[in-house]
Amino acid sequence: MIPMNTRFSRRTFAAASAAVSVSVLGASRGVLAQDATPAASPVEAAGLFDSTGLTEIVISAEQYTFTAAVPGALAEGWYIITLQNNSDAVASANLGLLPEGTSGGDLTSVVAQSFQGQGGELPDWWLSATFAGGNVAAPGASTSTLAYLTPGKWFMFSTNPASAQSPSSFSILTPEELETNYGIAADASATPAASPATNAIMAPEGVVATVNVDINDTMVSPDGAPAGGEQILQVTNGGEQVHDLVILHTEDILDEAGAASLATSWISGEETNAMVVGGVGTLSPGLSAFAGIDAQPGTYAVFSSLPDANGGLQVDNGLVTIFTAQ
């Protein structure tokens, strides 16, 4: 099925579904709150991806909560994910579709036990979940990515120990739910937008990456360094574990060892002399997402911040690299 949101601009889709509310959960860490209904209005904050015409989901990170502003009923497809960090710490908003029988409480437990900067054991269901990416943003900053979302209840959750937002959620609807509940008919003759060579979901029309970054279980491999200015990075998880990608900018000169030390400090929630400029949240094996960054002159440490399945942190096993922008 061709994603339905490719057939609507953000404005027309929002107008057509302005009377529809999508549940969003928000709470203090460790407790999930009751459903809430955000305003159904488009937000023009997508930057590099604005010209795609894709529907935008805006995630606001407050001190202890995530909330998502969504423009009505949402179908499967590519979305612009914009993170607005209104807190005083780095915000990490990851997108996860949990397997059947797993709850937001289970997710909260994993975050509390395994994402405190030292690594930790991940549950058996972790690899059975679908992670589509997400964003990371400095305090007061806004970043945008592209993520492909399939039907189900998507949780937003933090993997940064310096942040305190509890898991929250929004829903992507099946074609049957869209037609039955909202009278939005799917195109039954459409086929999935996938590459016949890899069976991977293809990039949205008109989105061309400046740099391709492959992450596997032992390294982060960009195919080049971004030039100065606005760039689009395509990030692909080519490994067997769940990975993410964090991009830090510093005026210091770093070698690989220095980048690894900087990354470890950042993962632990320590203050550093580097600024986070973007990245992609948790990403399942075989999936891709896109990140937009504004590359200023200097050195960049690029790494995965997640626990390693074999113990410790992924950065300890080589998932860190550096590049320099002129």
pLDDT confidence of residue 200? 62
Query: Using CB atoms within 10 A of its CB, is residue 163 exposed (0-12), middle (13-18) or buried (19+)?
Result: buried
Residues 22 and 166 occupy one common structural domain: yes
pLDDT confidence of residue 218? 93
Residues 159 and 217 occupy one common structural domain: no
User: To which H or E segment does residue 132 belong?
Assistant: strand 130-137
Residue 72 lies in a domain: yes
Residues 87 and 144 occupy one common structural domain: yes
What range defines the domain where residue 220 resides?
211-325
Residues in the chain: 326
Residues 223 and 134 occupy one common structural domain: no
Residues 120 and 245 occupy one common structural domain: no
Average pLDDT over residues 283-294: 95
Residues 118 and 162 occupy one common structural domain: yes
For residues 323 and 147, which has the higher predicted lDDT (pLDDT)?
A: 147
What would the pLDDT profile of 132-148 be if each residue is shown by its tens digit? 999 999 999 999 999 99
Residue 60 lies in a domain: yes
pLDDT confidence of residue 187? 60
Average pLDDT over residues 221-239: 89
Listed residue (272, 185, 308, 291) closest to 234, CA to CA: 291
In this prediction the pTM is 0.83
Tokens of 107: 């997710």
Percentage above 70 pLDDT, the chain? 81
CB 235 within 8 A of CB 280: yes
Residue 98 lies in a domain: yes
Is the pLDDT score of 20 beyond 70?
no
CATH number of the structural domain spanning residue 156 = 2.60.40.420
CA–CA separation, 316 vs 214, rounded Å?
A: 18
Average pLDDT over residues 223-250: 92
Residues 259 and 154 occupy one common structural domain: no
Residues 160 and 218 occupy one common structural domain: no
The string of DSSP codes covering 12-41 is: HHHHHTTT----B---STT-----B-----
- Residue that the structure tokens 């080049």 belong to: 224
Residue 190 lies in a domain: no
CA–CA separation, 145 vs 24, rounded Å?
A: 20
Residue 188 lies in a domain: no
| Three-state secondary structure of 67-116 | EEECCCCCCCEEEEEEEEECCCCCEEEEEEECCCCCCHHHHHHHHHHHCC
Mean pLDDT of the chain: 82
What would the pLDDT profile of 163-191 be if each residue is shown by its tens digit? 889 999 999 999 999 999 988 886 654 44
Residue 203 lies in a domain: no
Residues 39 and 149 occupy one common structural domain: yes
pLDDT confidence of residue 199? 53
DSSP 8-state secondary structure symbol assigned to residue 163: -
Band of residue 214 on the pLDDT scale cut at 50, 70, 90: very high
User: To which H or E segment does residue 245 belong?
Assistant: strand 243-250
Residues 154 and 248 occupy one common structural domain: no
Task: Report helix, strand or coil for 131.
Answer: strand
Residues 108 and 175 occupy one common structural domain: yes
The CB density around residue 140, as the number of other CB atoms within 10 Å, is 11
What is the count of structural domains for the chain? 2
pLDDT confidence of residue 15? 29
Residues 170 and 224 occupy one common structural domain: no
DSSP 8-state secondary structure symbol assigned to residue 154: E
Band of residue 311 on the pLDDT scale cut at 50, 70, 90: confident
Average pLDDT over residues 250-262: 91
Q: Which of 182, 201, 222 is the last residue of a domain?
A: 182
Is the pLDDT score of 41 beyond 50?
no
Backbone angles phi, psi at 125, to 5 degrees: -75, -10
DSSP 8-state secondary structure symbol assigned to residue 164: -
